[in-house]
Amino acid sequence: MSTASSHDPVPPKGRGPLARREARLAWQLLLPTLTAVSLVVILPLLAIFWISVKPVTLADLRPPAPIVRESLRGEGDEMRVEYRLRNSSRDTAVTGVVLTDTLPDGLTLAGEPEAPCLVDGQDITCDFGDLEGGDRATVAIPVTGDAETAEDAAEGSAPRVTGSAPNVLTNFTFTLENFARIFDGDEFWGVLGVTLFYTFFGTAGALIVGLFAAMLLDRSFKGQGILRGLYLFPYVAPVIAVAFTWVTLFDPFSGSANALLIQMGVSSSAINFFGERPLALIMVTLFEVWRYFPLSFLFILARMQSIDTDMYEAADMDGASPFQKFRYLSMPQLLGILSVLFLLRFIWTFNKFDDIFLLTGGNAGTRVLTVNVYEQAFAVSNIGAGAAVAVVIFACLVLFSVFFFRVMSREEGL
């Protein structure tokens, strides 16, 4: 009997039949989640990329189609069924346009129908061929009979019209004009600079204020719970309410802030906080800091309360100052949560739209990329250009995330 040689190949670890079955089972269990993520995240993202290279406007969201309107006109010998046809698009032709209908009960043909219509019994067929963009056509079919009965019968049956036209959303015509329009001129770079200023200082300010708030409430004292609840108010309050409050408070004509500054002699005239450059950008950044520092406060406070207090006691015995304890003990423990918060807040603030739109509408030098998406897509009615700006936002955030993770990996020695 032969024995197994020590040089016989050994199956790699984790490559056996059991491991393969476990891997298949794991993928089967993940399949519903992957499908949901694909439908919710990936498909809309792919749609944005697709639209960004298409010459799409708001009018193109509804594909070109022939639209018909039927009416019964005239009386007696002048009675006729009239069809008014038009192309819904002003640029794209609709080919093979055919209208079919049935004469309402109570009406009969009274003469030759206008071309290109044919009548066979009660059946009407009109072959219009190709209908160019913006074209209209009107045809009439002479009839006789009871007009009132015919009108009641016509309400229950509508004419049918068919035709085909290319759809700019589904065809394979692509263009880079949307991106060329974005990067043409200095406007985009100015908007990008405003976005980076608003995002960086809004994120950093929210972290710093949240850190100080967490340090203040890290110790137990009377009324601590009430203060914690008050600190959460800016974050949990509806954004419309707090934005309207800020606009009213700093209004140049009736705002309390201007009245107070004038009475104190700080300013001789009213200041338009949300209508002057660069003050408006500073104000919306301060609003971002004020509104979202509670999120940083919650996470930082939770991390601070989980730090072992023994090393602080040892530092007290060694005569360490509060600043030294914060720098050499607290900060290393908080670096992880601060990094995660900075990444999340940077991404969220970069994508922020509602705050600036409610405060200034993107005016007075506060136009960020997300507001630019809205203006391109809806104010200018260029959906393709709006999608192109969204793609630029996505690319910027991907680059920032890659840079962030590389820096963090280098800091952690990975």
Query: What is d(CA 275, CA 254) in angstroms, rounded to the nearest whole number?
Result: 15
pLDDT in tens, 50-70: 999 988 888 777 788 888 888
356 exposed, middle or buried (CB, 10 Å; 0-12, 13-18, 19+)? Answer: buried
Instruction: Write out pLDDT tens, residues 355-382.
Output: 999 999 999 999 999 999 998 888 888 8
What number is the average pLDDT over the span 246-267? Answer: 89
Nearest in space to 370 (alpha carbons), one of 344, 391, 398, 384: 391
Q: Given a cut of 70, is residue 183 above it in pLDDT? A: yes
Strand bridging mode 80-87 / 94-102: unpaired
Q: In this predicted model, what pLDDT tens digit does every residue of 199-210 receive, in sequence order? A: 999 999 999 999
| CA–centroid distance for 77 within its chain | 59
- Choose among 243, 262, 242: nearest CA to 252: 262
Average pLDDT over residues 173-183: 87
Query: Token pair for residue 248?
Result: 């009213």
How confident is the prediction for the chain on average, in pLDDT? Answer: 85
Q: Does residue 149 surpass a pLDDT of 90?
A: no
Per-residue model confidence (pLDDT) at position 414: 43
Locate 18 and state its tokens: 């059991």
pLDDT tens-digit series, residues 102-146: 887 777 888 888 888 888 888 889 998 898 888 898 998 888 877
**Any residues with CB less than 8 A from the CB of 297 and at least 6 apart, and which?**
209, 210, 213, 214, 217, 231
- The domains of the chain, with CATH numbers, are 62-164 (2.60.40.1170), 177-411 (1.10.3720.10)
The answer to whether the CB of 188 falls within 8 A of the CB of 182 is yes
Residues 6+ apart with CB under 8 A from 334: 211, 300, 303, 304
